[in-house]
Amino acid sequence: MDYRKLGQDITELVGKKENIARLTHCATRLRFELHDISKAETEKLKALPGVITVVNNGGQYQVVVGNEVQQVYRAITQQMGSGTRSADSGSDTGKNNGPKQKQSWISRFISVISTTFTPVIPAIIGAGMIKAILAVLVLTGLVTTESQNYYILNTIADAAFYFMPILLAYGASIKFETSPILAMTVAGVLLHPGWSALMAEGKDVFFIGVPVRLTDYAGSVLPIIIVVWLMSYIERFADRVSPSMIKFFTKPMIVLLITAPLALVAIGPFGTYLNDLVAMGAEAINARASWLIPLLMGTLQPFLIVTGTAWAMTPIATSQLTKNGYEMINGPGMLASNIAQGGATLAVALKTKNKKLKQLAASSGFTAVLGITEPSLYGVTLKLKKPLIAAMIGGGVAGIYAGLTGLVRYAFVSPGLAALPAFIGSNPMNIVHAIVTCLIAFIVTFALTWIIGFEDPVDDDEEGNTNVNDDKALSGQPIQDVPSQNELRPLTIASPMQGELVHLDRVPDDVFSLGLLGKGAAIIPAKGELYAPIAGEVTAFMDSKHAVKLNGYNGEEVLIHIGVDTVNLKGRHFDSSIKVGDRVQQGDLLISFDIDAIKTEGYEVITPIIIANSDRFPDIKLEKQSSVEVGATIIHLS
């Protein structure tokens, strides 16, 4: 392949080098940030020999070229000069000094909320579940609201919400590329007991002659996000004006001396005003048409998840929970939508004759009714389309009931059967309405899915094995189960990690799930260690340490990609000493990684194992899905 020519063509079709604000790459794709995305000629790019597909996602214009990504990247950067650096090169700080890609204000707002809230989710979900358990304990009489046990458990549950500004300061500092510690310190100023004492006195407060509005920032959302955004500029100013010899002392001093007073005097009150204004608007809508918001959320939640806009309502819901002890913005509609997704998917599981779809739909449908819908949405309903329409209708109908009955959620959890205790509160009928909402969503959606049906991707042979070459096979179903008797003696690929072996279509990234990079399998890791699945040579290894490619001695080429979009971590939570050119034996430790830390930053850890040169192997089969240990055979190659 002529990489120089391919690089020239790609550069031309993304709008020439003048349209490229920044170019990075991961294991398989070029990641462009473009000044004007409308100048990119997507269809022509997809048609280029050497380009697998094009994905426009998360503010990045991604051109997937597969294993040759480093060669194509070098060809493009040579044409552009030295101003473009790879995020995997280790030389990039992660800050984009070039012009930013044009985005709508809605896209920018959702990006800010998503990045800010993602690290906080474990804390507020954990606190929410404790609230739910506490509600059950009170309802059953095991604990009284006057007891010390209740007081201590309630304090634990309230902590995440009371100190919400400090938690959000961390996420906002990541988004705005500023110091997390200084951001959290400023948030601490807003919550300091001394500030609470001033509020308790009720006297007028002035700072250098300027009146200060006494505001309770406990549990607030928007004020700290705005404060950290401003602090990112103040920190850059402090960095420029501080003499290098004493910068260690002067820079944080300047940041705190400017940011904290501004937060107390101006930004905090303004953010609180915006926060209250949005909440009042939502409550006004709910007072005049209580069915409207749950209807919209119940109907459109799948669309919001796919487009990433589901985060937009999170600040309002969080604010309501903190202020009122309940919320009606997210929870009721999401409960209806999640149960509807489960109903549609379980209907597919019962109706389909495709063995693999039946297994996938049964497992993902069960998790959906418990409150986790992504496997159901991406693995089943979105692909089959008609069940998705049924789920949106069923979710909308149940949402209307939830709104008319005044259903509220008392704790921040992912709504589903597992989280029904979060709907137990001061109104004893609330939990009853939640159960009825679930029944409506499930029954309506299940019936609609059964009646309108779907195009069943089934073509089973007499032995019950799916023919993967049939054009009716599941989209992204890369390989079939091993027959009971193999006529061929295959090469084998061993499991590189301990975990659960699944089909590629479980990977929430079309580049992998549709088999665009080759056939293979995926593993949901149970332990953060990646071992060599074959004996061979390391032919590609990202500096971000999340992906490695091995060429085996028998001609097999294996690409392993830990997680989805984990290139964005830039090596955080990964550790390895291997390098390109190393020879390895099967079972050698290649990479160690921290599963919990990766998940905390909002990334999936499901790991695709791709046969990069699948065209050389006419018969590729996967062992049956199950738990696997390191070294167990997972793929057979003829």
Which residues are known catalytic residues? 26, 561
Q: Edge-to-edge strand order for the sheet containing 607-611?
A: 583-584, 536-541, 547-552, 557-561, 607-611, 520-525, 499-502, 627-628
For residues 529-550, average pLDDT: 90
Check residue 490 and give its pLDDT: 57
For residues 268-294, average pLDDT: 77
Taking 80 as the threshold, does the pLDDT of residue 535 lie above it?
A: yes
97 pLDDT tier (thresholds 50, 70, 90): very low
Q: Give the containing element (helix H, strand E) for 491.
A: strand 491-494
- pLDDT averaged over every residue in the chain: 81
In sequence order, what are the beta bridge partners of 500? 524, 627
Determine the angle formed by the axes of helices 148-162 and 164-175, rounding to 10 degrees: 30
91 pLDDT tier (thresholds 50, 70, 90): very low
- Cα(461)–Cα(394) distance, integer angstroms: 35
Taking 60 as the threshold, does the pLDDT of residue 458 lie above it?
A: no
For residues 51-59, average pLDDT: 72
Check residue 322 and give its pLDDT: 72
Q: What is the DSSP letter of 242?
A: S
Taking 60 as the threshold, does the pLDDT of residue 480 lie above it?
A: no
Tens-place pLDDT, residues 318-333? 777 777 788 888 889 9
Tokens of 291: 């069915």
Taking 50 as the threshold, does the pLDDT of residue 309 lie above it?
A: yes
461 pLDDT tier (thresholds 50, 70, 90): very low
Highest mean pLDDT among 55-64, 279-288, 350-359: 350-359
311 pLDDT tier (thresholds 50, 70, 90): low
462 pLDDT tier (thresholds 50, 70, 90): very low
Residues above pLDDT 70, as percent of the chain: 86
Residues above pLDDT 90, as percent of the chain: 27
Check residue 293 and give its pLDDT: 84
* 251-265, 422-436, 509-523: range with lowest mean pLDDT: 509-523
- Cα(228)–Cα(189) distance, integer angstroms: 13
The Cα angle at residue 475 between residues 43 and 546, in degrees rounded to 5: 80
308 pLDDT tier (thresholds 50, 70, 90): low
- Cα(445)–Cα(455) distance, integer angstroms: 17
Highest mean pLDDT among 145-154, 457-466, 487-496: 145-154
Which residues touch 571 (CB under 8 Å, ≥6 apart)?
90, 543, 544, 545, 546
Taking 80 as the threshold, does the pLDDT of residue 581 lie above it?
A: yes
Q: What is the DSSP string of 593-612?
A: E-HHHHHHTT----EEEEET
Structure-model confidence comparison of residues 357 and 561, the more confident one: 561
Check residue 103 and give its pLDDT: 56
Tokens of 495: 């499991």
